A and B are shown apart, each in its own frame.
Chain A
């Protein structure tokens, strides 16, 4: 359902926090090693990371990044509703 998102569990939140940090451009080698350690420490950690990476991986199937970005950022066209008044 659009807009409805349940809060992720604590492990998912940690995985998300790590991934946010690693993508920042400000993470150092020490933090990368710490992440790898966290990820390996528990199969649940690994599973949470893989779950996010599965969705991110779909972007690898999108060559021509600029075109993908343009398409995903284009505003939604105005549409009618089934229940609205007919023209």
Chain B
């Protein structure tokens, strides 16, 4: 029999130290920033969960800085999701033909929008628009170029970038 992995028990010890000293600190900081204890607790616990799942925890020198960075990303993703949802529902409400979806269907659409939005992260507004006109509306590059005031060959370049992002964002 070999002993239980020393690396793992170090890891657990490290995590419990971080949890005791830094988790509270983060939750307090977030409460102060967000002005809502409930939301702050949510973000802090999600950040800590992601922190605990980091593959290279042993190289983390400043847990608070790392937790802050992760929390920032979690908050950004929450906000982004809320924006997407609100914008989608607002746009639906303004459409002449009303589209009826169950809450489950709606939740699925939001999930998809979040995934696509993440995949398109970092692209310019024109590149995003070009990709969406192609993928959602099936327009040709000439038609897209006309709408966006750019050449078809520029549309082609935007599409290449967007599809490269889709490849990177999809699971292998």
Contacts and interface: CB of A to CB of B under 8 A. Distances in A.
Interface of A: 2-6, 8, 12, 15-17, 19-20, 23-26, 47-48, 51-52, 54-56, 58-59, 61-77, 79-84, 86
A17 B112 contact: no
A71 to B, nearest CB: 4
A20 B127 CA distance: 13
A64 B92 contact: yes
A52 B132 contact: no
B167 A8 contact: yes
9 contacts: A5-B164, A12-B164, A23-B141, A23-B159, A24-B159, A25-B141, A51-B167, A67-B95, A72-B132
Contact of B116 (A59, A63, A86): A59
Contact of B115 (A12, A55, A73, A76): A55
B121 A62 contact: no
Contact of B134 (A12, A23, A63, A70): A23
A77 B79 contact: yes
Chain B, interface SS category: helix
A80 to B, nearest CB: 6
B95 A66 contact: yes
Given A65-B137, A74-B83, A82-B30, A3 B121 contact: yes
Interface in B121-172: 121-122, 125, 128-129, 132-137, 139-143, 152, 156, 159-160, 163-172
Given A2-B121, A80-B33, A82-B72, A52 B170 contact: yes
